[in-house]
Amino acid sequence: MGLETDTFDFIERCQTHMTSKVVLDDLLSCVRKFGFEHLILSGVPVGNEALEPLVELNGWPKPWFARYSSQTYAGVDAVCRHCAESTRPFFWSDVPERLRNSPNSKRVAKEAADFGLVNGYVIPANSRVHWQTVVSLASPLQHLDLSKRELAAITLMSTVAVSSVEAIRSPPEKERLLSRREKEVLLWAARGRTAEEIANILSVSVTTVRKHLQNARQTFAVSTTMGAVAVALRRRQIVL
């Protein structure tokens, strides 16, 4: 079958998939013909946020994911760090040298290669669950020779997979909105102000500020204030 037929057949199947595991297996089957053997679909960690709770589809080798999680490699992995900066698809080899050249990031890349994750392609996608979601495809090949049409097909299938998984995991719901005061407090936090400074600016108690920040984190289901800031900015609930 042709590239377009394969792509749209995948999209059609995703409309009937009932479990995330089926989506994972189907997407892996589709991208193997392009040289990819592993993939992960996950939210992008913010600050010291752990990766494991953000993972929606896990097609990594189990020993590698266990090591990656236990060693908190997300904070030093050049690919993961670049995911927080890029809104466009990119090859792992295109990650800026300033991120790739640190001793820690080199160690992560070497260990990943030992598990067959040598090169890859990352597709960022919009999400109603995470501030940023990516599909990261991994290959044992050093060089991936893919045409623009093939990359477009891979990007489309990955984006559809994200939507499919989110639909399976949780039915559509009304967007969770911050209160006026929560937005105000979060905006000052985004500008680097401490809880004490925000309390002084708004003439409220520090306890009140911390409560508003806690509410914002709970509203967006994130563990850090900067995570809440990121979600609020992406959803245009606050504007710097």
Please count the residues of the chain: 240
Whether 127 and 190 share a structural domain: no
Coil/strand/helix, residue 168:
helix
Q: What is the mean pLDDT of residues 17-43?
A: 96
* Domain co-membership, 11 together with 76: yes
Residues 125 and 227 in one domain: no
Q: What is the CATH number of the domain that holds 202?
A: 1.10.10.10
Residue-wise pLDDT for 136-193, tens only, equals 999 999 999 999 999 999 999 999 999 889 888 875 556 778 999 999 999 999 888 9
Looking at the fold, whether 43 and 152 belong to one and the same domain comes out as yes
pLDDT at 17 over 80: yes
SS3 of residue 15 by DSSP: coil
Last residue of some domain: 142, 169, 196?
169
For 97-123, how does the pLDDT look when each residue is reduced to its tens digit (9 = 90+)?
999 999 999 999 999 999 999 999 999
Same-domain status, 33 and 126 = yes
Q: Of 116, 148, 169, which residue constitutes the final position of a domain?
A: 169
What does the alpha-carbon distance between residue 97 and residue 94 come to, in Å, rounded to a whole number?
8
Segment 41-53, tens digit of pLDDT: 999 998 778 899 9
Q: Is the residue at 239 inside a domain?
A: no
Q: Are 162 and 185 in a shared domain?
A: no
Average pLDDT taken over every residue of the chain:
91
Determine the Cα–Cα distance for residues 62 and 49; give it in Å rounded to an integer: 21
**Domain shared by 18 and 136, yes or no:** yes
Residue 205 domain-assigned? yes
Which residue segment(s) compose the domain that 47 sits in? 3-169
Helix (H, G, I), strand (E, B) or coil at 39: strand
Instruction: Please report the pLDDT score of residue 224 as a whole number.
Output: 82
Q: Which tokens in the block code for residue 209?
A: 């500020």
Instruction: Specify if 123 maps to a domain.
Output: yes
Q: Please check the confidence at residue 27 and state whether its pLDDT lies above 90.
A: yes
Q: Which of 134, 151, 160, 146 is nearest to 82 (CA)?
A: 134
User: How many distinct structural domains can be found in the chain?
Assistant: 2
Please state the rounded mean pLDDT for residues 202-226.
91
User: Which run of H or of E encompasses 111?
Assistant: helix 103-114
| Same domain membership, residue 132 and residue 34 | yes
pTM, whole model, 2 decimals?
A: 0.72
Beta bridge partners of 194: none
How far is it, in rounded angstroms, from Cα 199 to Cα 137?
45
Query: Do both 155 and 200 map to the same domain?
Result: no
Find the distance separating the first CA and the last CA of the chain, reported in whole Å: 49
Domain identity same for 224 and 105: no
CA distances from 124 to 54, 67, 178, 208, 237 (A): 14, 24, 25, 36, 21
**110 CB-contact burial (10 Å; exposed 0-12 / middle 13-18 / buried 19+):** exposed
